Amino acid sequence: MVTKPLVIVTRKLPDAIETRMRELFDARLNVDDKPMSPAELAEALKVADVLVPTLTDRLDSRLLAQAGEKLKLIANFGTGVDHIDVESARSRGVIVTNTPGVLTEDTADMTMALILSVPRRITEGLDSLRAGEWGGWSPTGLLGRRIYGKRLGIIGMGRIGQAVARRARAFGLQIHYHNRHKVSAPVEETLEATYWESLDQMLARMDIISVNCPHTPATFHLLSARRLQLLQPHAYVVNTARGEIIDENALTRMLINGKIAGAGLDVFEHEPAVNPKLLNLKNVLLLPHMGSATIEGRVDMGEKVIINIKTFVDGHTPPDRVIPSML
């Protein structure tokens, strides 16, 4: 009889995924969905053949140094791996995989929802209704900004950035983008997108900024206090990527002082903590990191995790192996 690998899952996953994992592996599940403490993660690393973490599990070099000899695969449930020291894992002979591609459309949908909602003051309208403050239609009541014809600057033109651009183009926005490299000519032509090699120059000219790049050491505080100062007073910032990409304190100060018009944030620099000053601002729409939160997306993520584990257990290279040099 072949011994099944011990797979430790750090959070509650969709029932269908957990059931399949139990069928294929010796899966140890987290039924109550309580995040593991560093001590519990260290213990899991010591005994597991495969660890299935999520973005709430910070696997730094210190923690990975406690991994046992059995651990050979970290099959991350998610696309971003900024919470895992991939290089440290590699140096210990541990492969790291992720789940790219399956959350593109869901995240782009949420990004577009924020792009539409913040300039049109959707939350303020809802709040006034719930508070019983609405006295009827008025020619000057809750005036927002028109979306059609505005310039959208996308930071990060990968899968999600391009999906956002497709949606935004249909709403009549003019597409601009900053990326490490230009996208292919056919993609650029289809999206009618304008490339900016200089992020500073793009920021100074846009009506709406959408952050869609991954969080890496190179993108930490990419939107720094200095760069945020380049934005025009009527500009809006939307972030569905990672909170660490924006200097949140600087952004908050600018919103309070009216230096920019508003923001739509699905992610925060110190999650799950949210700057209390942001919570009190009317020109901000805040969401609890739910950009990818669809039933279909979570199941697709789980299926990718299973494929990566099964492929590895069968002696092959997992299809979604993360290469440190590509981060």
pLDDT (mean) for 172-195 = 97
DSSP 81-146: -TTB-HHHHHHTT-EEE--TTTTHHHHHHHHHHHHHHTTTTHHHHHHHHHTT---S--TTTT----
Q: What is the number of domains present in the chain?
A: 2
Whether residues 118 and 263 fall in one domain: yes
* pTM (predicted TM-score): 0.90
pLDDT above 90 as % of the chain: 97
- Specify if 1 maps to a domain: no
Please choose, from the candidates 207, 217, 209, 274, the residue with its C-alpha nearest in 3D space to the C-alpha of residue 240. 209
**Would you say residue 271 lies in a domain?**
yes
User: Alpha-carbon distance 148 to 236, whole Å?
Assistant: 14
CA angle (97, 102, 105) in 5-degree steps: 145
Active-site positions read 242, 271, 289
d(CA 202, CA 288): 28
User: Are 94 and 118 in a shared domain?
Assistant: no
In a domain, 191, yes or no: yes
Are 65 and 178 in the same domain?
Answer: no
Average pLDDT over every residue of 29-39: 94
| In the predicted structure, residue 2 carries a pLDDT above the cut 90 | no
97: confidence class by pLDDT, cuts 50, 70, 90: very high
Please state, for a pLDDT cut of 70, what percent of the chain lies above it.
Answer: 98
User: Are 231 and 128 part of one and the same domain?
Assistant: yes
Residue 217 confidence (pLDDT) above 60: yes
Does residue 13 lie in a domain region? yes
What is the greatest pairwise CA distance in the chain? 76
Report the CATH number at residue 307.
3.40.50.720
d(CA 91, CA 317): 17
Reported as a single tens digit per residue, the pLDDT across 114-139 is 999 999 999 999 999 999 999 999 99
Asked whether residue 135 falls in the same domain as residue 113, the answer is yes
92 plus 130 within the same structural domain: no
97/115 same-domain check: no
12 and 50 belong to one structural domain: yes
Which of 291, 23, 74, 5 is CA-nearest to residue 163? 291
Question: What is the pLDDT at residue 324?
Answer: 74
Mean pLDDT across the chain: 96
One domain for residues 67 and 118: no
Which H helix or E strand runs over 265?
strand 262-265
**Residue 327's pLDDT is what?**
52
Average pLDDT on 198-213 reads 98
247 shares a domain with 110: yes
Domain that holds residue 77: 6-101+294-326
Same domain, 76 and 137: no
pLDDT tens digit sequence for 60-93: 999 999 999 999 999 999 999 999 999 999 999 9
**Domain-located, residue 15:** yes
pLDDT over 80 at 235, yes or no: yes
186 and 41 part of one domain: no
The Cα 173–Cα 175 span in angstroms is 6
